[in-house]
Amino acid sequence: MGEKQIIKEYSNGEITVIWKPALCIHAKVCVNKLPSVYKPDEKPWITPENASSDALQSQIDGCPSGALSYRLTNEKENTKNKNQNMSQKVEVTPGGPLMVHGELEITMADGSKETKKRATAFCRCGASDNKPYCDGSHNDIDFTDS
């Protein structure tokens, strides 16, 4: 049997931010976009009351790893993601992963298929232990675009 995944929840009463640390690739998108909410050196490190629910949703929808998701107080679904019905958008992150936003089907090297419904981070540096996905290894090897 697999290990139980750690899941932490932080709420402002309107929205609950759900964090799954095992999925985090430390891209720092959250910290850079909402530094008043995400403070890695503090406990609790997520303080959702420091931003509007709309700002939190927008930031979480851009999380490259899926480590952050959210649930609205009056919502029955486990998580919500506005990107589910959007067209794909590709973004090269300087010194980091190739980000593909939107729903897509991925055919793996062994022929198996996975469906992703949000922002997905693909490794560009070659050092990831979770290929084709980014695991944050680009930070360890000082990957650059030059």
Is the pTM higher than 0.85? no
Predicted local confidence at residue 2, as pLDDT: 52
Q: Which pLDDT value is given to residue 76?
A: 47
Q: In angstroms, rounded to a whole number, what is the distance separating the alpha carbons of residues 123 and 97?
A: 5
Mean pLDDT of 108-112: 88
Question: Cβ(122)–Cβ(97) under 8 Å?
Answer: yes
pLDDT at 36: 96
Range(s) for CATH 3.30.70.20 in the chain? 8-72
Q: How many CB atoms lie within 10 A of CB 124?
A: 17
Contact 19, 7 (CB under 8 A): yes
Summarised one tens digit per residue, pLDDT across range 16-59 is: 999 988 888 888 889 999 999 999 999 999 999 999 999 999 89
Q: Look at the domain 8-72 and name its fold.
A: Alpha-Beta Plaits (3.30.70)
- pLDDT the model gives residue 41: 93
Compute the radius of gyration of the chain from its Cα atoms: 16
Judged against a pLDDT cut of 50, whether residue 1 lies above it is answered with: no
